[in-house]
């Protein structure tokens, strides 16, 4: 049985004080956490306040990026050992905004995955096609290439320490969510690819999250799909009330 995971990507929003307020609200809202893993990804400068606020509750904290090296002359970057020392346990790797705006390539992302694993951080590895890719029938091929480039060199043990997030670029921040069936098709293909590239046990155990305009009103249909194990939430994670509504998807279902 794969335990569901709901992750909130706060992106480049809010001051450290705003982030601490949001963390305090989440702490109160999610005191009685359902059987779901919850992770939040604040901006770097807000990490320490959020980690402090969430001490003693079962909500994990992660960073939105990591540098491939563990330290040195890399102005403006943040390394795995610093992330770990700040109390984080998760890292986002390969978010589409970094792939497109920061021009991060597949081989560069593979090094970031290694850096995360080396530093005992759980990478959430993001993949997803553009609207062009989808309309030209290349969605699955593009996603498989991203996965092969980013994860292809991992051993089954390394792979089992990671979470995958499928986020179609055309559904991120657009309000245009993939239908549960469209998402399920890609999730099933990802699981099948893991099964043939590694083995069926690794494929069965892999958590694959869906991301792209997830809200309290559409999360139930998404989570009902067999191969969808959780959600990576952007916009709707910036308000405690809507994020709580997503985390509690099981109670809206029953």
Residues that bind ligand PGA (CB under 6 A): 9, 167, 172-173, 211-214, 232-236
- The residue sitting closest to ligand PGA, measured at its beta carbon, is 234
Nearest distance in Å: CB 70, ligand PGA: 26
Nearest distance in Å: CB 75, ligand PGA: 26
Nearest distance in Å: CB 94, ligand PGA: 11
Q: Residue 203 or residue 219: which is nearer to ligand PGA going by CB?
A: 219
- From the candidates 97, 104, 129, 167, give the one annotated as an active-site residue: 167
Q: Residue 167 or residue 227: which is nearer to ligand PGA going by CB?
A: 167
**Catalytic residue flag (residue 226):** no
Q: Residue 61 or residue 172: which is nearer to ligand PGA going by CB?
A: 172
Three-state SS string over the chain comes to CCCCEEEEECCCCCCHHHHHHHHHHHHHHCCCCCCCEEEEECCHHHHHHHHHHCCCCCEEEEECCCECCCCCCCCCCCEHHHHHHCCCCEEEECCHHHHHHCCCCHHHHHHHHHHHHHCCCEEEEEECCCHHHHHCCCHHHHHHHHHHHHHCCCCHHHHCCCEEEECCHHHCCCCCCCCHHHHHHHHHHHHHHHHHHCCHHHHHHCCEEEECCCCCCCHHHHHCCCCCCEEEECHHHCCHHHHHHHHCHHHHHC
- From the candidates 67, 95, 97, 129, give the one annotated as an active-site residue: 95
**Catalytic residue flag (residue 167):** yes
Nearest distance in Å: CB 158, ligand PGA: 23
Q: Residue 150 or residue 234: which is nearer to ligand PGA going by CB?
A: 234
Positions annotated as catalytic residues are 95, 167
């Amino acid at each position: 049985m794969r335990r569901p995971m709901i992750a909130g990507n706060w992106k480049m929003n809010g001051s450290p004080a705003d982030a601490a307020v949001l963390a305090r609200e989440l702490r109160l809202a999610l005191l009685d956490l359902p059987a779901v893993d919850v992770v939040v990804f604040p901006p770097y400068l807000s990490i320490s306040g959020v980690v402090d606020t969430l001490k003693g509750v079962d909500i994990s904290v992660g960073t939105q990026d990591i540098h491939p090296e563990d330290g040195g002359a890399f102005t403006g970057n943040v390394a795995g050992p610093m992330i770990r020392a700040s109390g984080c346990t998760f890292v986002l790797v390969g978010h589409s905004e970094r792939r497109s705006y920061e021009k991060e390539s597949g081989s560069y992302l593979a090094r970031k995955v290694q850096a995360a694993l080396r530093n005992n951080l759980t990478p959430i590895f993001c993949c997803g096609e553009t609207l062009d890719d989808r309309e030209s029938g290349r969605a699955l091929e593009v996603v498989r290439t991203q996965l092969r480039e980013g994860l292809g060199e991992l051993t089954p043990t390394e792979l089992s320490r990671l979470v995958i997030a499928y986020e179609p670029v055309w559904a991120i921040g657009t309000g245009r969510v993939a239908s549960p069936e469209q998402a399920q098709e890609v999730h099933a293909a990802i699981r099948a690819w893991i099964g043939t590239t590694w083995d069926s046990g690794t494929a069965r155990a892999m958590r694959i999250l869906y991301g792209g305009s997830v809200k309290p009103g559409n999360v139930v249909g998404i989570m009902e799909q067999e191969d969808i194990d959780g959600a990576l939430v952007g916009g709707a994670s910036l308000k405690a009330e809507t994020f709580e509504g997503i985390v509690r998807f099981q109670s809206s279902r029953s």
